[in-house]
Chain A
Amino acid sequence: MTPANSPEAAAIVEELLGLDPSLRTRRAELEQLVEELLQARPTADIRPAFQRELLRTLRQHMKSDEKTVPFSFLSFFLPMDTRYIFAGAGAVVGALAVFVVSQQTGLPALPSGDGESVEPGIVSLAPQAFGQLAYQAGGLGGGGGDVAMSRSQSGGGGGSTPLTTPAPAPLTADAVVAAEEAVAQDAMMVPPEPYRVSRFFYDGEITLPAEPQGVYRRVKPNAKPSGQSAITDFARDLIDWSALGSHRLQNVSLVSGDYSVYIDYMEGSISINKVYDASSRPDFRCQTEECYQQSRLKESDMISEEQAILIARAFAERMGIDVSTYGEPRVVDNWQIMYARSTDKAAFWFPEQMSVVFPMLIDGQPVYEEYGNTAGLNVSIDIRNKEAAGLYNHYIQRFEKSDYAPVADVERVKQAIRSGSMYSWEDPSAQYVDVALGEPTSALMHSYQWLQETGESRELFVPALVFPVTGEPANEYETRNYIIVPLVQELYDNAQNPPYPMPLIEEGEPIPVDLEDPTGGPADDKPIPVDLGDPTGGPATDEPDPSVNPEPRPMY
């Protein structure tokens, strides 16, 4: 190679000689070295795709008047510490969020808005600041034990499902088909007749509060993270993202070690689930019923409540979760109750998991779901492996508070107590059993509400009376430990979506519908004649069979 034969190398040499004339004595050596070393210089060419994408991002943010938006071409999973800066829409949002991928854990922290703390806190607002309150069906809870049920809105992130009741036996193919058909028919099976239903009563006097009742609303994160950092090379190339306009990160699921972590940016929650290898299950290769039976957990395999709580505490600590803002943890499973009630103990199916709940406290008040479950941070325990299987209901603990008028009609409250819920409909064919309640205490009732006009959801925590169930339940399937009745008038005035009992299908033959009606079928306002047993094919007229109970039955 000819020394210093490139203009660049020559320019470098000339400048060096100009700066330090003493180097002239070594010019030849200098020229050769400069030329060789220039050719060895690392290239630093920008990727055209990156250059275009960044320009597109800048355009988007100029259009939306957003001052700064996170943008990263790094994968979430790069083992490096990278800061993502998010900003809201200027004066509208005014939030600058920082998203940190922890180098230590590899798990992302919740997005934190500008000045938006994830520390627990309550902000007092003017009375009735949340607008009209309503009691809606389809909230949380349902039957089951003293367990805060996971909400679909908070993700859950797939993975294992926390079991709060005894685990079902492995499904056979036929059972799966049958279950799918039952769902497809949107119908419930008829419980064995006669069936017994609890009707609750409280002997004491009920004193309702006279002062306004403070209702709490969970504050959701302000930060609306962009999804740019989740759009990796392949995703960026598969479609033209600019055609979709701006986007935001709604949720993300990460896998780290043995756990998957689900982050819900809209709700401000994180859930964690153990990633299980199905082949590690002892019944993975079972082909026979005997094999399944042998792999079942036995009573001796079950762990104590103390063990479960220790595992839960250790897991929360490992995950860096401060549980000091919660109440004392407790096991909330019902397998012991169910086992005690079972008549065929040999056939009892012991659950693979149990739950520990760290009870949620707002202003020092415990929180219950509508059907009496304890609300709080849940840790699922894998009984077989004696380890944590997951964690859910882990939210930012920030709330707003606003006063609402107390309920004044004690009879409506008594009716709610009697029914065990805000719904007072009773099935005339059921056999009701009176079940006693103990002395009530004050608490908050967790109510999940959907605002139809805005399409938004909200979580409210309403002052309520909590009655412990002290009497024997009406049937072996009832495991409610508490009856919750709210103390805010509007919930009684605006009860929505009363439960409409699902149509019933008797077990056995399909329901024959009279299609031979020469009139072309019943009038719209008449019930469809249904033969529930007549081998002749059904009644000759379109009059309903009086022997068939036309009234709907409650959900079972």
Chain B
Amino acid sequence: MRFSVLSRTLGPVQDDLLLVEAFRGGDRSAFETLYQRHVRSIYRFVYLRTHHRPTAEDIVSQTFLQALQRIDSFDAARGSFTAWIYRIARNLIIDHYRKLRPESAIEDAWDLPAGSDTAADADAAIRIQQARSLLKDLNPKQREIVLLRAWEGRPFAEIAEIVGSTEAAAKMTYRRSVEALKNALLVLLLFSLHFTA
């Protein structure tokens, strides 16, 4: 398979771009490979923002189907495939919370009280509530960047693309967020695996 050779010689970003081009050229298996590469991280991204498995599966499904539909609109000059598909997922999550509470601001999904949220999975409910209280002092953009960096382990360049910022600004926001939480060390529960930057 073409991708298996490329994957040994190129980085993940370049691999993604080649896969996109291969799919556009008629190689359907290229999209399957893109799917296999990203589905777990996209699911994690969505689940940790919805806390509800069926909802997360629904949004992940829509994410990849929209990606399939819109892949012709993907422009490698404007960012990585990873950032692009994360943006699709993020927009769908926002749509989801807007429907739950139409008057809520785009970035305020995290602020929704548990009662108005989708039914969180039982095993995650308590932990989610803890995280909710710990992050409540951050503004939505700070929170999103902290989550993308800590929970998702995304590089700052990618985070910047996802949230519509610059890499430098994303780093700045992250540092300021940590500074703001310096006196509340419990927030560090949210800093987790997958540091890849």
A residues lining the B interface (CB < 8 Å)? 8, 11-12, 15-16, 19-20, 22-23, 26, 29-30, 33-34, 36-38, 40-44, 46-47, 50-51, 54-55, 57-59, 61-63, 67-75, 78, 80-83, 85, 87, 103
Contacts and interface: CB of A to CB of B under 8 A. Distances in A.
Say which size band chain B's interface belongs to: 35 or more
A38 B44 contact: no
Nearest to A31: B188
Given A30-B185, A38-B192, A80 B55 contact: yes
B68 A58 contact: yes
A23 B56 CA distance: 36
A68 B66 contact: yes
Nearest to B32: A55
Contacts of A67: 68-69
A81 to B, nearest CB: 4
Contacts of A38: 189, 192-193
Given A42-B123, A58-B32, A19 B68 contact: no
B175 A20 contact: yes
A187 B78 CA distance: 75
A16 B181 CA distance: 11
A62 B28 contact: yes
Nearest to A26: B185
A16 B178 contact: yes
A51 B188 contact: no
Contact of B57 (A34, A37, A47): A47
B39 A46 contact: yes
A16 B175 CA distance: 9
B95 A83 contact: yes
B58 interface: yes
A479 to B, nearest CB: 51
Contacts of A59: 28, 32
Contacts of A73: 54, 57-58, 61
A159 to B, nearest CB: 29
Interface in B35-68: 35-36, 39-40, 43-44, 47-48, 51, 53-58, 60-62, 64-66, 68
Given A30-B188, A67-B68, A74 B55 contact: yes
Nearest to B134: A37
Nearest to B47: A44
B62 A74 contact: no
Contacts of A22: 182
A15 to B, nearest CB: 6
A38 B127 CA distance: 11
A53 to B, nearest CB: 9
10 contacts: A8-B193, A33-B185, A50-B57, A57-B61, A58-B68, A62-B28, A71-B65, A73-B57, A81-B99, A81-B100
A-B pairs with the 6 shortest C-beta distances?
A37-B189, A68-B69, A42-B124, A81-B99, A67-B69, A71-B61
A103 B116 CA distance: 13
